[in-house]
Amino acid sequence: MPVKLSSVKCPSCGTALEGKVADRVYLCNCGVMHTRDDEGKREVKYTIAAPKDPSAPPQSIIYIPFWRLDSDVAIHYSRSEGGFFSKLFGKDWKGGRVSIYIPAVNWDPGTFKHWAGTVTSNPPQVRPVQEFGAYERDAVVIDEVEAQQLADFLILTFEAEKPGVLQQISYEVKVFDMSLLYMPFNRSGSSFTPAISIGAKALNSIRPLKGASSWRYGSQHRT
């Protein structure tokens, strides 16, 4: 249940807001979403994707947030086999504009990595809507800074994930814009599947994740 935070007001209209437990963002009825940290408050851009079936019962859909990082990726040097970006753009690809999608929720590492790779390599077909309607939205647990750190780490693991092979990579990621994408998922008991076209195979279920924001990351790797 939402916990009322009387000291939090919308920076746009001044309305007192109610926040979800553990949610890093606050959404006002006026449509403005913002976040707060030690550096103050700032507005968060977001998009709500319509489910395939807009008439689905309220309990059957949940919106799961993903950070979209519009980025410049530069591969300075690489000796790896079957890297993520070479599979996506071709073996001679050395960098360019990429939208990286990072789940903003608590999933286990395998599920987290699967969905980050799936949605990044197969961006969803989004038909934006203005509101969540009767559907629940999950809390944003991973903030912008953590999302950028995880993007760096995930690129590293995607590019050099073949075990038993000597691999080296040096790269740079520059994020020039960030926003949230709320993707609808069908839920039936403990099973969750996308309620939107993402162009790739999906997991049959989603399990809770613990400690994703504490993963280590870096820009060079050998195995």
| Per-residue pLDDT at 113 exceeds 90 | no
Is the predicted pLDDT of residue 211 greater than 60, yes or no?
Answer: no
| Whole-number percent of the chain with pLDDT over 90 | 42
Higher pLDDT, 204 or 20: 20
- Distance, CA of 138 to CA of 62 (rounded, Å): 7
The whole-angstrom separation of Cα 75 and Cα 122 is 21
Secondary structure of residue 145 in the 3-state scheme: helix
Q: Is the pLDDT of residue 125 over 90?
A: no
Q: What is the pLDDT of residue 62?
A: 94
Q: Please name which of 63, 141, 71, 65 lies closest in space to residue 100, comparing C-alpha atoms.
A: 71
What was the pLDDT predicted at 44? 97
pTM of the predicted protein model:
0.80
d(CA 40, CA 214): 23
- Alpha-carbon distance of 85 to 73, in angstroms, equals 10
Backbone angles phi, psi at 43, to 5 degrees: -75, 145
Sign for the CA dihedral angle at 2, 131, 34, 153 comes to: positive
Convert 149-168 to b/e letters by CB count within 10 Å (16 or more is b). bbbbbbbbbbbbbeeeeebe
pLDDT digits (tens, 9 = 90+) for 63-111: 999 999 998 877 766 555 555 565 555 555 556 788 899 999 988 888 8
- Residue-wise pLDDT for 179-196, tens only, equals 999 999 998 777 788 898
pLDDT for res 133? 93
Quote the Cα angle for 186-105-154, to 5°.
110
Q: Which two tokens stand for residue 188?
A: 């039936």
Burial class (CB in 10 A: 0-12, 13-18, 19+), 183: buried
